[in-house]
Structure 1
Amino acid sequence: MNRLALGLLIVVGLCVAFPTFRERIPNGKNVPNPCQGSSGEWEGVGHNIKFGGGPRNPFGKDFAAAGSKWTTELCNKDSDSDGKTNGEELGDPDCTWTKGGTPSGQATGHPGVCEPMDQDACKSVNAAINCL
Structure 2
Amino acid sequence: MIFRAVLLCVVLGVSIAFPGYQQYVPNGRNVPNPCPGGKRTWAGVGHYDSHGAGARNLFGLDFASSAHVWTRDLCMADSDLDGETNGVELGDPNCVWTSGQTPEGQATGHPGICEPMNDPKCLSVNVNVVC
Question: Equivalent residues in 2 for 1:1-132 (5 A)?
Answer: 9=9, 12-131=12-131
Q: Give the distance between the partners of 1:52 and 1:111, measured in 2 at CA.
A: 14
Q: Give the distance between the partners of 1:119 and 1:10, measured in 2 at CA.
A: 37
* Unmatched tracts of structure 2, length 5 or more: none
Which letter does structure 2 place at the counterpart of 1:89?
E
Q: Give the distance between the partners of 1:47 and 1:83, measured in 2 at CA.
A: 19
Matched position secondary structure for 1:17 = helix
- CA shift, 1:16, in A, is 1.1
Q: Give the distance between the partners of 2:96 and 2:84, measured in 1 at CA.
A: 17
TM-score by length of 2: 0.91
What is the RMSD computed on CA atoms of the aligned residues? 1.9
Which letter does structure 1 place at the counterpart of 2:33?
N
Matched position secondary structure for 1:63 = helix
- CA shift, 1:7, in A, is 7.9
TM-score by length of 1: 0.90
Once the two structures are superposed, residues 37-93 of structure 1 have per-residue CA deviations (whole angstroms, 9 ceiling, x without a partner) of: 334100000000111110000000100111011111100000000000000000000
- CA shift, 1:18, in A, is 1.5
Which letter does structure 2 place at the counterpart of 1:53?
A
Q: Which runs of 4+ in 1 moved over 4 A?
A: 4-8
Once the two structures are superposed, residues 86-119 of structure 1 have per-residue CA deviations (whole angstroms, 9 ceiling, x without a partner) of: 0000000000000000000000000000000000
- CA shift, 1:12, in A, is 3.1
* Unmatched tracts of structure 1, length 5 or more: none
Percent identity for Structure 1 against Structure 2: 55
